[in-house]
Structure 1
Amino acid sequence: MKVRWKVSKLNLKQRAFADEYIITGNAYQSAIKAGYSENYAKNAQEKLVEKGGKVSEYIKDKLKEIQLERHLTMEEALAITASIAKGEPQRFEKVIRDPESNEVIEREVSEYSAGFKERNQALEHFYKINAAFIDKQQVEVTETPVFVDDLSDADG
């Protein structure tokens, strides 16, 4: 689900601020980078984010869109589980970024194949999800159950 925003709702500075704020979470830095004055940037958190106006609304909608894009569907989760159960190599990527420029400093890609224990767990998980372990039985009770009080009245 993509959130559609009309470009005319935000001016260029507002949009630049919002996009930078989504990346950094720093209102002051985002305002400066978007072209606002230092004076205005000092209160950017309050004026642009907390105020609840169109910039705040845009930020919330974009964050929701990003979250939806990262959401793992049931089909994707089952495909990963099945891949592990089959012993297919799983690819991992480790990325180290410069904290100031956000540039990639180091990237390491490796593959790992699950062992017997992990493959067996993946199979069990896959079958549990698909209800393969459930032996469904339908029982009908036609008589009214009678409960017997098994505590005797020994004290009298």
Structure 2
Amino acid sequence: MPLIEQKLTMKQQAFADNYIELGNATEAYLKAYPNVKKEATARANGSRLLTNANVSAYIESRMEELKSERVADQQEILEYLTSIMRGEQQEQTLRGMGEGYQSIDDIDVSAKDRIKAAEMLGKRYAMWTEKQQIDGLVPVTIVNDLDD
């Protein structure tokens, strides 16, 4: 990513960062270029900047980074479900201590939640299906014997 950043001016990078945050090229342009007052100018120039190869590459690169930071991938989800199923996770619960006092305590995940995690993992690996899905190519030969 450092190569992409070097190709952008500070205003182009500000536009790209605002566009990622706002999802609107006109608003992003107006924020990055505050001396522009006409919305029509901002709309045209914002659209033009989105077609700039360096700006679009920067936006794509940043979106990929944000996606990987914020969204759990398949492996992370499977590992988390496995840790729940194995009882390696804890959850918080509120406990009454009498006379209006309460405390938050960590407890092991319930058996019900562990079973649910196991079911979800089993579904992922198609362990509970009686019907087997078979994917593949089957050769088909069409014979025209109507005239015989």
| Identity across the alignment (%) | 30
Residue 67 of structure 2 corresponds to which residue in structure 1? 67
1:43 to 1:61, Cα distance in 2 relative to 1, 3 A: farther
Residue 83 of structure 1 corresponds to which residue in structure 2? 83
Quote the offset at 1:129 in angstroms: 4.1
Q: Does 1:17 align with 2:11?
A: no
Q: Structure 2: state its 5+ residue gaps.
A: 93-104, 130-148
The equivalent position to 1:122 in structure 2, one of 106, 117, 123, is 117
CA distance in 2, matches of 1:23, 1:111: 36
TM-score w.r.t. length of structure 2: 0.54
Quote the offset at 1:12 in angstroms: 0.9
Q: Does 1:8 align with 2:6?
A: yes
CA distance in 2, matches of 1:26, 1:132: 45
CA distance in 1, matches of 2:59, 2:43: 12
The equivalent position to 2:44 in structure 1, one of 21, 43, 46, is 46
Q: Which amino acid aligns with 2:79?
A: A
2:4/2:57 contact within 8 Å kept: no
Secondary structure, counterpart of 1:79 in structure 2: helix
Q: Which amino acid aligns with 1:115?
A: S
Q: State how 1:86-97 maps to structure 2 within 5 Å.
A: 86-87=86-87, 88-90=89-91
1:78 to 1:11, Cα distance in 2 relative to 1, 3 A: same
Quote the offset at 1:68 in angstroms: 3.2
